[in-house]
Amino acid sequence: MQKNIVIIGSGVAGLASAIRLGAAGHKVTVVEANDYVGGKLTAKNIGRYRFDMGPSVFTMPHLIEELTVISKQELKFEYLTLDKICNYFYEDGTTLSAYPDKEKFATEVHNKLGETKESVYEQLKYSATAYELIGELFMEQSLHKLSNFLNLKTAKALLNIRKLKLNKTMNEANNARFKNKKTVQLFNRFATYNGSNPFKAPALINIIAHLEHNIGAFAPKGGMHDITMHLYNLSVKLGVEYKMNTRVIKVITENDLVNNVLTSSGEIKADIVVSGADIKHVYTKLLDKKYYPTKILEQEKSLSGLIFYWGVKKEFQELSLHNILFSENSEAEFNSFFKDKTPYHDPTIYINITSKVTPTDAPEGCENWFVMINVPHNASGEPIHYVKEMRKQIVAKINRVLKTDIEQYIEIEDVLDPYLIEQRTSSSGGSLYGNSSNNKYAAFLRHANSSSKIKNMYFCGGSVHPGGGIPLGLLSAKIVSEMIAEKS
């Protein structure tokens, strides 16, 4: 039976939900506060340069292809398979390139960091095994339905539970595997993919490495924003309606049942509501206070980011699409984030340059730099005061490590900080991934994909199960659409 479904927000999970629910025959309306779709996954032209404004690592492209098939449209989504995942730079001059080819990567780690090749193979095997045992269980279905645990896959995972190292942190597991702290730092950095602390997060977070090193890393031909536009175009062809520049004011309920959605441009009939907005924003701004789930929403938040967008009038041959300049003291850096609640003076810097694979993103002989450091989420909600100081630290570190004077090449600049992230996306404190995963029960402590108190209220996106990042956002949409189908 056709339902009137309102989706709050057009982030990647909202777009994917719109496709799945539109393809199922429902009347779908997406309400978006901004004048653009995509949430964090948007783009901006600044002078002669084009920038992806948000996420810049692309894995599991089959999830996009699956949505194309579901929509029964012939729109093509084109992407490249990367032959190099990332370039790593350390303060002492050590450099290393990560490759999707296991032999090539193991050889590189052996030659540059002194590890045995076998230790690298074992690490990647552990990531693959963990994914095989619990990937589907934890990522592709609700953890809040008992029936989902009563199957052979769960039994297999339980029989092999010792292999998962549930009693260890990510850092402990990696320290036990490798002898060089640089190698540990390399694999620990995957914790930042969901904004967490590798010194607290469970060893299972190493599963993220499997996505890049065992499955592969990719790049949309037109930049990450191509993902947004492809999904948007698929949904429009399915008849999904978009109400842009429109804020949701309240989700109206009657007898704990979704009724309508009140927006800045009027009321919309809703049999079902799917929210892709940050879960804390939904409960504090859009729903009655009686529904507020204190235990879940008051957990520690994930990291945020400080991003500079630089048009650089030079090509750096030593850099590729993805580049990381590591902090000298990783543990001190994460303590600064999560204990002291301040940015770290010697930050790990991520530099993404899409013009390396899409030359039209920058003028000839130039590059578009997306320069990001992690910072704590903005608990105060006040404008950020440390941007200028951290910019100085970033510039100084880039100059040291790359042996350059980057200032003379910066032609244009824009900036995005936690305060602005919250203003544009309603993410609590600019947190990029909702709650952090800084304990071994983190997977079970994320908000469910449906409300236990409000009938026909569903949730998708990075702040709910199964977590943050593009693949998990897409999977949250799949979970929600399947739950709705079961009840329709």
**CA-based angle 94:319:212, to the nearest 5?**
85
Check residue 155 and give its pLDDT: 57
| Per-residue pLDDT, 145 | 59
| DSSP letter for each residue of 98-153 | E-SSHHHHHHHHHHHH---HHHHHHHHHHHHHHHHHHHHHHHSS-SS-GGGGSSHH
Amino acid (1-letter code) at residue 453: K
Considering the chain, what is the average pLDDT of its residues? 93
Mean pLDDT of 9-24: 98
pLDDT 10s digits, 278-317: 999 999 999 999 999 988 788 889 999 999 999 999 999 9
What residue spans define the domains of the chain? 4-46+54-78+222-293+447-487, 105-216, 301-425
pLDDT score at 148: 53
- Residue 347 token pair: 């930050």
pLDDT band at 158 (very low <50, low <70, confident <90, very high): low
Please report the pLDDT score of residue 160 as a whole number: 61
Q: Is residue 152 pLDDT above 70, yes or no?
A: no
- pLDDT tens per residue across span 320-329: 999 999 999 9
* pLDDT higher at 144 or 124: 124
Q: What is the mean pLDDT of residues 429-438?
A: 88
CATH topology of domain 4-46+54-78+222-293+447-487: FAD/NAD(P)-binding domain (3.50.50)
pTM of the model: 0.94
In terms of DSSP bridges, do strands 27-31 and 241-243 run parallel, antiparallel, or are they unpaired?
A: parallel
DSSP code at position 466? T
pLDDT at 186 over 90: yes
Q: Which one-letter DSSP state was computed for residue 253?
A: E
Predicted local distance difference test score (pLDDT) of residue 9 = 98
| Type and span of the H or E element at 45 | strand 43-46
